[in-house]
A and B are shown apart, each in its own frame.
Chain A
Amino acid sequence: MNSNNFDVIVVGAGPAGITAALLLARKGLKVTLLERGEFPGSKNMFGGAVFGRVLHDIIPEYWTKAPFERFISRKMITMLAEDSAVSLDFHSAAFKKPPYNGFVVQRTSFDRWYAQEAVKAGAVLLTQTVADDIIREGSQVVGVMARRPQGELRAKVVIAADGAVSLLAKKAGLRREFTPNQFSLGVKEVVQLPAGALEERLGLTGDEGMSNEFLGRMGGGLHGGAFIYTNRDCLSLGVVAQAHSLKARKATIYDALDQFKRHPAVAPLLEGGRFLEYSAHLIPEAGINMVPQLFTGGMMVAGDAAGLVLAGGVFLEGVNFAIAAGKAAAETAIQAFEKGSFDQAAMAEYEVRLKESFVLQDIDRFKTAIPMLLNERLYEVYPSFVCRTLENWFMVDGTGHPKLAGMVKRLLGEDMGLWQMTKDGYQFGRAMLW
């Protein structure tokens, strides 16, 4: 038998690809996992949070084994105006107990650990190996071309988990060209804090951690958000900006990050911090509209490559979707091997599984959030409106406190009409409430 033949080829050792390779190897299938970086996690980047309930199904009590920084016990959502901020600050005892709701992890450690689990199960991990193209026989995908001499690699099933700008999905003709509306650009900095400062400033003990998502008008007039996650003794913070607003405003994202770091709500957290690293990543955010065709004969697309990311305003999730998609792809492939059929009809099972799971259900449910997130008043008007309302209300300047309604009406008149706000309220309701 040719050594270049495998049962399954998984392209991309991120959460989706590793999950698929791990589950397939556990079933005794001959599976290889291709990774372009020097090791899994070396080329990856994300904000920092993993909501790992799905991982618990695959590796029970993974939190005792995986290298994580802190579990998230405190979740904050903050609306940013120019020099003020309003936060919702949620503490939960349930989030502090196993199975934890979410963790902050470093991809370099986490992906490497997770990939080793797949290797232990029997998957063959080939790093520094890029898959450039797919091999077809008729309408059936039968392998990939790796960027190495004699790089032809054949398998019954190819699972493409090769990231946001998936080359393989494009080569297979499964996705259309992207538009700037569909992506956000995220940049992240890791800042080391003096010993003990993190716990003190954020009121954390032990392994407790915090995630804080920000919404508002970023520096340079960019639309998007920002985040802060707690690592063990450093903070990950970053700015996410919609690609079309980067283009329209001719602004740069690092200026926005600089301004975010100088914001009065953020600067005290970073006092005395030392800059450690800087990274950037494209985030597919257009929801169901940019999900490509998920399968063709002999091939499935998973993770970011399939646009399986939930960007629903207050929910920013990707890794759990990637893991669930990897699992669905693996189960589909296992079933295909049992039946001995790998054509388009066999692969269609993958989409059925995704539709039955939270993956496509959530993305479908929150597709109404996309127009809300593209509504410019969400960034330009409302955060500063809420902040100014509270500022005026809490201000003690000897003129007495007005009742809220009158003040809101006065402040509203400056920015927009009641009718506009009603329409936006309806849009918000459709996005989040019903």
Chain B
Amino acid sequence: MRKLNIAVLIRSVVDSRVPLPPDVYGEKPLPEGMISIVNPADWFALECALNLRNQMNRSQIVAIALGGEEAEESLRWCLAAGAERALRIWDRSLVEADQLGRGKAVAAVLTRSKPDLILCGDGCLDQINSLLPGVAASAAGLSYVPGVARIEKVEHGMAVVVRKLEKGKRERVMVKLPALIAIEEAGGVPSCDADLPGLIAAFTQPMPCKGLSCLGLSPERAGSRGAKVNNVMTRVSRPITARPVTPDHRLPAEQRLRKILAGGVVRKQGEVITGTPEQLADRIIEFFRSEPVVML
């Protein structure tokens, strides 16, 4: 049986799940303030590839990423997790390239390396390179199967996968290889519990980087000069304006924790007041003063 070559497309994204540092709240976000991570869905795809390799024992995994220094670090983590090889594509003219140009560059790599199966995550955390796999598959003339929940088996040049459809429906799809399969992230925190020797090997080995000319592409075709879509301005989401919850310190620790975790959101509830008519009137007036219902 022939060796199964698996390629995994890795995209680096800005981690938008943590609060962004203050620098980025400008007109154009500054790259140095942002935290770059491996796209969680792509990491999940890598884990699927590792599982496949464990089942089939005759296969090897190459991680491919398009990007600058942040992509190099992402690839090193892939190596630490168990990928055999890593390949980075980067070229100065790709900085301002559109998705079509980037897709063509990835397609050129796939055409040259001829993997049997290409995996990637379905979607990108920061949305920026979400289109990339589809464009690359199209440019390389590969089948593209998005929205895949799991890969059932890979044999005889075919892959059987289960796709997610609307309202919880599932479909089983048989696709002829080579094909690009985009896997939906199944949740959970991506982690890398690589062993230490593997980690050291991943972070000390040389990392090849191919430019456009190595791939037989020109900046006119794939780079910024060929871009039909240009980014004029990027704006990140607005900062969180809510005040931090500083719970009453007299409460027990468990209730304080609840308040912090609830982020200051409390259930709506009525209030029963008792007392003399004067006290009741005072409380009602105080209520209207504190709640922006009517002007007093």
Contact = CB atoms under 8 A, between A and B. Distances in A.
Contacts of A424: none
Nearest to A258: B246
B278 interface: no
Interface in B227-258: 239-244, 246, 249
A106 B201 contact: no
Contacts of B25: 192, 233, 276
Given A3-B204, A109-B23, A39 B35 contact: yes
A250 B79 CA distance: 50
Contacts of A232: 22-23
A3 B204 CA distance: 10
A274 B241 CA distance: 6
A148 B249 contact: no
A320 interface: no
B171 to A, nearest CB: 37
B144 to A, nearest CB: 32
Interface string B30-46: 00110101000000000
B155 interface: no
Contact of B32 (A4, A67, A258): A67
Interface stretch (A123-131, A333-341, A376-384, A385-393): A123-131
B23 A124 contact: no
Given A233-B22, A276-B239, A113 B32 contact: yes
Nearest to A42: B35
B194 A234 contact: no
A257 B245 CA distance: 12
Interface range, B side: 20 to 34
Nearest to B194: A148
Interface stretch (A150-158, A159-167, A396-404): A150-158
**Interface majority SS (helix, strand, loop, mixed), chain A:** mixed
Interface in B181-221: 192-197, 199-201, 203-204
B242 A4 contact: no
Interface centre among B35, B200, B203, B249 (most CB of A within 10 A): B200
B21 interface: yes
B-side interface mostly: loop
B19 interface: yes
A149 B33 CA distance: 32
Given A113-B32, A128-B192, A275-B242, A3 B23 contact: no
Contacts of A128: 192
Contacts of A109: 21, 23, 32-33
Given A234-B22, A277-B19, A129 B246 contact: no
A42 B246 CA distance: 24
A108 interface: yes
Nearest to B238: A274
Contacts of B239: 192, 274, 276
A4 B196 CA distance: 8
A3 B19 contact: no
Given A148-B193, A275-B243, A32 B35 contact: no
Contacts of A189: 244
B16 to A, nearest CB: 15
Which of B21, B194, B204, B244 gathers most chain A CB within 10 Å? B21
A178 B256 CA distance: 27
A185 interface: no
A133 to B, nearest CB: 14
Contact of A151 (B26, B196, B201, B246): B196
B246 A108 contact: no
B200 A3 contact: yes
A129 B21 contact: no
Interface of A: 3-4, 32, 38-39, 42, 67, 106, 108-109, 112-113, 124-126, 128-129, 146, 148-153, 189-190, 192, 231-234, 250-252, 254-255, 257-258, 274-278
10 contacts: A39-B35, A108-B21, A124-B204, A125-B203, A146-B196, A149-B194, A152-B196, A192-B22, A255-B246, A275-B241
